[in-house]
A and B are shown apart, each in its own frame.
Chain A
Amino acid sequence: MRKVAIVGAGLTKFVRRALETPKELSFEATKTALDSCGLSLDDIDCVAHGSAPDAFDGIHQKGEYLADGCGGWNKPTMRVYVGGATGVHAVVHGWHHVASGMFDLCLVVCEEKMSNAMPHAQGFFLTIFDAITERALHPNLLWIFALEMNRYMQRYGYTKEDMALAAVNNKRNGLLHPSSQFKDEITVEDVLNSETMAYPVSRLDVSPVSDGAAAVVLAAEPVARRLTDKPVWIEGVGWTLDTAYWATRDLYYPRYLDKAARMAYEMAGIREPDKQINIAEPYDPFDYKALHHMEGLQLSPRGKTVELLRDGHFARDGNLPMCPSGGLLGVGNPIAAAGTMKICELFWQLRGEAGERQVPGDPRLGVAQAWGDLMQVSSVVVTGI
């Protein structure tokens, strides 16, 4: 199997409402990623990009509209779209381009501008529900998170305080991220006292709506070695989509993530992920999700995650740092770009370039994961140096 490495990465700031158009946001991230490894657009063979619902921008075939901002001009350009998992999946998609042998240098770009959608991006999530059997109930994006969080908490006897710890952890980490939308730490009390949106979800359990873009450059081995002395290898990729009949699954465990993670670990030759993985970037649009996903990623035994969290196991200087970037809760959540931001984080962390966020102890293997759709899909990428 052809080896592929990440050789460059770039991000915009994540903000609630950006001045830049979607194309401009894509351009900023793309340009930064190219500059970071000394490449120009002419060097790039192809573009793999991702962006979540077209409805946010009110632009049909949004991928075409974004193409030039992503560097996809007179080049093979292809958009992948798996809801919230798009951010990590675009890297899998980019990996296909290079690992197949068809291309040597692939630019992976993910962008989201949620502020365009009026009055609020959340409204468009109405249209993710089944048009005939669900939409008439006027469901709400928050419903599915709340339903899942409630089931998860009830299954293990977790409390809202337990879940809030993940929000506190991630937001604290995120303050050190230069892209972060946030300036202040929060406490468990802040989370518990915040407005109840849809029990058990409170306002501070949720990551914000954001605008932003992120990009990475993928290179085939010989090219990677020429471009940098610290290529970050894509060791494993996995992805899985569960049934659309989401109400027929028990929501307490993300079995689709279990499969995706095992697929990635198998490719990477990892047998004991909880011992071998040094950094975890699980997808955390809500605090409970980070924990839910740590279990699905086989990084924490089911029902024991809160205990480990309280013990400091997942702190930056713990055994298995979780979301040293700050995650979506700590940096921001421009949907597709957020997943790619996690990949960028692994890139910098494994190279020892994460500055104040640096995980100590010379980490060698990291895993990034994103999730989406009707709680059905996950993409997993294992990186190593």
Chain B
Amino acid sequence: MSEKLKVSGGTALSEEDIRSGKIFVTEDSLDTAYAWDTGVAVKRYLSELKQGRIIATECRKCNRIMLPPRLFCELCFIPCNEWRYVKDTGTINTFSICHVHWDASRIKEGEKPHLPAVIEIDGASEGMGIMHILGEVEPDQIEIGMKVQAVWKPESERTGSITDIKYFKPL
């Protein structure tokens, strides 16, 4: 053991220490709400999703067709005002099979694992992907490079959200 290296503090507690009341704990829960302004570009993105379409913007200088659409090209640093519809099909760039919920709880018996993926959308520039989830596919059938197609919610259920696309399924 290094004679110079000194470690101090960091007294370990167990779950039982807390549960049994040996340790004084003060609790609070946070209650904050936010209503984020979407701004021009994302507002259009969401309203097009509501209509069952995916829209992107094109930079007139580097000609990238960008998703999610933005009002400016972050590389050329100029405003973009050219809107382009892209397809609702794409290619899986990468994926995962997730057995854990967002709050670290495990999926229950009988519950299907979640299938997040990055999907490069056809019609946008190469490599231009969005994160979404896969469906109607068995986990062991998924491959990087697979072609997929968006499955939309019925029009009456769409709200102008990324979840207006329920998931992407194999083509």
Contacts and interface: CB of A to CB of B under 8 A. Distances in A.
B13 A133 contact: no
Interface string B128-171: 11111100000100001000000000000000011100000000
Secondary structure dominating the interface of B = loop
A200 interface: yes
A20 B11 contact: yes
B30 A251 contact: no
Nearest to A210: B10
B100 A142 contact: yes
B127 interface: yes
Given A136-B161, A136-B163, 13 more contacts: A13-B12, A15-B13, A17-B13, A17-B18, A19-B12, A31-B8, A55-B30, A132-B38, A133-B162, A148-B94, A198-B97, A348-B4, A353-B4
B139 to A, nearest CB: 7
Interface string B75-95: 000000000000000000111
Contacts of A77: none
Contacts, number: 201
B96 A200 contact: yes
Range, interface on chain B: 35 or more
A146 B98 contact: yes
Contacts of A213: 9-10
Contacts of B63: none
Contacts of B9: 12-13, 18, 20, 24-25, 27-29, 32, 213
A142 B100 CA distance: 8
Interface residues of A, number: 73
A26 B52 CA distance: 52
A136 B42 CA distance: 14
A259 to B, nearest CB: 14
Contacts of A199: 96-98, 139
Nearest to B2: A355
A155 to B, nearest CB: 9
Given A136-B163, A137-B133, A348-B5, A250 B127 contact: yes
B94 A151 contact: yes
- Give the 6 A-B CB pairs with smallest separation, nearest first: A28-B9, A13-B10, A146-B96, A355-B2, A12-B10, A120-B104
Interface in A1-48: 10-20, 24-25, 27-29, 31-32, 35-36
Interface of B: 1-15, 18, 23, 27-30, 34, 36, 38, 42, 45-46, 66-68, 74, 93-105, 114, 116-118, 127-133, 139, 144, 161-163
Interface string A346-380: 00100101111110000000000000000000000
Contacts of A17: 12-15, 18
B11 A143 contact: no
A343 to B, nearest CB: 14
Contacts of A118: 27
A132 B70 CA distance: 13
B8 A16 contact: no
A208 to B, nearest CB: 12
B11 A197 contact: no
A251 B162 CA distance: 22
B92 to A, nearest CB: 10
Contacts of B27: 118
Interface of A: 10-20, 24-25, 27-29, 31-32, 35-36, 55, 58, 118-120, 122-123, 125-126, 131-134, 136-140, 142-143, 146-148, 150-151, 154, 178-179, 195-201, 211-213, 243, 245, 247-251, 348, 351, 353-358
A122 B101 CA distance: 10
Contacts of A16: 12
A356 B34 CA distance: 51
A355 B1 CA distance: 5
5 contacts: A122-B104, A139-B131, A178-B2, A248-B129, A353-B2
Nearest to A349: B2
A137 B131 CA distance: 9
A198 B12 contact: no
Contacts of A133: 42, 45, 68, 130, 162
Nearest to B5: A348
Contact of A137 (B2, B11, B28, B162): B162
Contacts of B67: 248
Nearest to B23: A19
Contacts of B34: 131
A117 to B, nearest CB: 10
A37 B16 CA distance: 38
